[in-house]
Structure 1
Amino acid sequence: MTVELNHTIVAAHDKKASAQFLADVLGLEVSPPYGPFIPVQIPNGVTLDYMDADDPIAPQHYAFLVSEDDFDAVFARIQAAGLTYWADPFHRRVNEINRNDGGRGTYFDDPNGHNLEILTRPYGSGDESA
């Protein structure tokens, strides 16, 4: 059996601005609207479909596996935008990156409080002591 994540809906206070934020930070494009959604397609085919929400938004976590070169580019955009970033998902190690599994990673928030992560190595793929 083959199972792949195709899309997920991301709640936002301003779907257009939120989709553009993600696209800008990751170096992607915002796709044309589809029904009530503003999609951002990730290169592996998964789409994050932003949808306006009037109710309070429960923060979610979205992690993006990137190459070492892409990490440098995305991280530079995070810094250029003046975003606070953390080495851990609990936001304890401010303005640091981690070196989990022999790679690099960092967390940052989107305008809705969603916890975004970029990482260069999947968890469990390398040296835990790094």
Structure 2
Amino acid sequence: MTAHFNHPTIASSNPAEMARFYRELLKVEEAPSWGSYVNVQIADGVLLQFAAPPIDFPPRHYAYLLDHAHFDWAYTQITASGREHWADPQRTRAGEINHEHGGRGVYLLDPSGHYLELITQPYL
């Protein structure tokens, strides 16, 4: 059997706000939630589970592959909201996008401080 990625649990100080942010940015529908999890389902059945951790958590990196039209829409939302963003993960190229790997990419922080990357071309 081939292994398929199913879900991560993403630590958040406000799971409902995080789910709303991801639903809007990734243009996906609500998913059933349970217990302390607020869920969002993206393509291929992958479930993003947002939950408040019992301890402080370090920021993580999450990358999402978007088609060009969705990237254009998301980037418009990012800039219209005044959200800080960068062309590089080191955050040295503020207010820019990159054109690496034959596509486009941008980095930003989500509401809980995780490093979010939107790309139009996979690395491999």
1:44 partner SS:
helix
May I ask how many residue pairs the two structures share in their alignment? Answer: 124
* Counterpart residue number, 1:106: 106
Q: Partner amino acid for 2:55?
A: D
Q: Does 1:29 align with 2:35?
A: no
Q: TM-score of the superposition, structure 2-length normalised? A: 0.93
2:8 partner SS:
strand
Closer/same/farther in 2, CA of residues 2 and 116 from structure 1, 3 Å limit: same
* Counterpart residue number, 2:78: 78
TM superposition outliers: structure 1 runs of 4+ over 2 Å: none
Question: Which runs of 5 or more residues in structure 1 are unaligned?
Answer: 125-130
1:98 partner SS:
coil
**Identity of aligned pairs, percent?**
40
Question: Which runs of 5 or more residues in structure 2 are unaligned?
Answer: none
1:32 partner SS:
coil
- Aligned mates of 1:115, 1:9 — CA distance in 2: 15
2:74 partner SS:
helix
Q: Partner amino acid for 1:18?
A: M
